[in-house]
């Protein structure tokens, strides 16, 4: 019996190909079960996320299993075998177990070290377990992968720091306000970037959100999407005394938030911290605002730079993570992986 993996991911296939092979979360168990009906397949787990679809298989005859799986996929999607070979990768024995451990550890993710993948693989494995499509080989491979994944995440800095502008902003907001449940946010300009950033704050518990946009209809639309309130663009400064975070991303050719506006409301705000996030180019917020004592001003370049630094730091951890994975896999001698390279 040997372990192998056939799959595609964001590196080998564009989204229009990945979506053809995607399996809905609710279908993962039945898909795994269906694979057991193919020639040469004894155990199967199907993993499908937005960035990958992978089939982990245990087989007494891997070439037969692989051929039947390829034919099945070709028939199901209408793509030729050549097309499949172009986008799919395959790993066998030890390398398949190593790949699984890397995926669980977030080393194979688009955002290096991201944590969501761990839960997604667990869900896929749980679905397979429920449908009784696993036995000794895959059970051991997945259980060890989860153990190793945890070890990698706790013993290295692979998931440290925020790697997106939205998350950097949220982390900063949490440092400035502790938690966000009492924080009120105003979004100036209803662009995509400000929406994403505001959404990140809301998802971490921001109390309320105001949206101001030159087009009031668009402001209402965005406010409705985020469960907030639209404010007329020429009246946004009236809520400045009550908000804690200002996210600005308008297309204005000059600054729209000036230091004197903040000076005017300092007393009413009782000098409590104000976090200004300027993600517009040209900048919406006059840099002089950042000189006010309780104001923390971050522009898009700074946020991008912080996210870049976190990504670079994570990259430096890859080798250390791989060493842990190799060492742990060699230690546990998984069944179906004896064909060590």
**Residues 276, 279, 285, 286, CA torsion sign:** positive
User: Which residues from 154-183 bind other proteins, rule CB under 8 A?
Assistant: 172, 174-178
- Asked if 86 interacts with other proteins (CB under 8 A), we say no
Among 296, 320, 322, 328, indicate the residue that binds other proteins (CB under 8 A): 296
Q: What is the DSSP letter of 182?
A: T
Among 82, 119, 234, 270, indicate the residue that binds other proteins (CB under 8 A): 270
Beta strand pairing call for 208-213 and 229-232: parallel
Among 304, 309, 320, 326, indicate the residue that binds other proteins (CB under 8 A): 309
SS3 content of the chain, % helix, strand, coil (to 5): 50, 15, 30
Kind and range of the H or E run holding 58: strand 52-59
Task: Using CB atoms within 10 Å of the CB of residue 187, give its burial: 0 to 12 exposed, 13 to 18 middle, 19+ buried.
Answer: buried
Among 290, 311, 320, 328, indicate the residue that binds other proteins (CB under 8 A): 290
> Number of residues in contact with other proteins, rule: CB under 8 A?
20
Name the minimum Å distance from CB 206 to other proteins.
15
Name the minimum Å distance from CB 107 to other proteins.
21
**Cβ neighbours of 266 (radius 10 Å):** 16
Please say which residue, 86 or 175, places its beta carbon nearer to other proteins: 175
User: Which residues from 226-255 bind other proteins, rule CB under 8 A?
Assistant: none
| Residue 144 near residue 97 (C-beta atoms within 8 A) | yes
- Asked if 315 interacts with other proteins (CB under 8 A), we say no
50 a catalytic residue = yes
Query: At a CB cut-off of 8 Å and minimum separation 6, what does 116 contact?
Result: none
Catalytic residues: 50
- Where on the chain is the footprint of other proteins (CB under 8 A)? 172, 174-178, 267, 269-273, 290, 293-294, 296, 298, 302, 306, 309
């Amino acid at each position: 019996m040997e372990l192998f993996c056939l799959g595609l991911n964001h590196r080998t296939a564009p989204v229009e190909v990945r979506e053809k092979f995607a399996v809905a979360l609710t279908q993962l168990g039945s898909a795994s079960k269906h694979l057991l009906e193919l020639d040469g397949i004894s155990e199967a787990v199907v993993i499908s996320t937005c960035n990958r679809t992978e089939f982990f298989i245990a087989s007494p005859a891997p070439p037969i299993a692989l051929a039947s799986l390829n034919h099945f996929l070709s028939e199901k999607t209408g793509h030729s075998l050549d097309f499949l070979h172009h986008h799919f990768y395959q790993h066998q024995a030890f390398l398949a177990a190593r790949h699984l451990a890397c995926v669980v550890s977030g080393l194979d993710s688009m955002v290096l070290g991201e944590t969501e993948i761990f839960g997604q693989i667990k869900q896929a494995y749980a679905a397979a377990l429920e449908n009784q499509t696993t036995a000794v080989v895959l059970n051991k491979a997945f259980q060890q992968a989860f153990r190793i994944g945890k070890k990698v995440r706790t013993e290295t800095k692979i998931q440290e720091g925020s790697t997106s502008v939205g998350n950097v902003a949220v982390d900063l907001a949490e440092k400035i306000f502790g938690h966000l449940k009492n924080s009120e946010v105003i979004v100036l300009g209803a662009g995509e970037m400000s929406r994403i950033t505001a959404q990140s704050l809301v998802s971490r518990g921001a109390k309320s959100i105001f949206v101001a946009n030159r087009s009031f209809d668009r402001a209402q639309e965005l406010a409705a999407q985020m469960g907030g309130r639209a404010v007329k663009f020429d009246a946004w400064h009236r809520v400045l005394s009550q908000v804690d975070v200002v996210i600005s991303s308008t297309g204005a050719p000059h600054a729209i938030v000036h230091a004197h506006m903040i000076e005017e409301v300092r007393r009413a705000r009782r000098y409590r911290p104000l976090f200004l996030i300027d993600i517009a180019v040209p900048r919406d917020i006059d840099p002089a605002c950042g000189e006010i004592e309780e104001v923390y001003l971050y522009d898009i370049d700074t946020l991008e730079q912080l996210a870049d630094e976190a990504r670079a730091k994570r990259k430096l951890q890859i080798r250390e993570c791989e060493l842990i994975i190799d060492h742990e896999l060699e230690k546990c001698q998984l069944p179906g992986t004896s064909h060590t390279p």
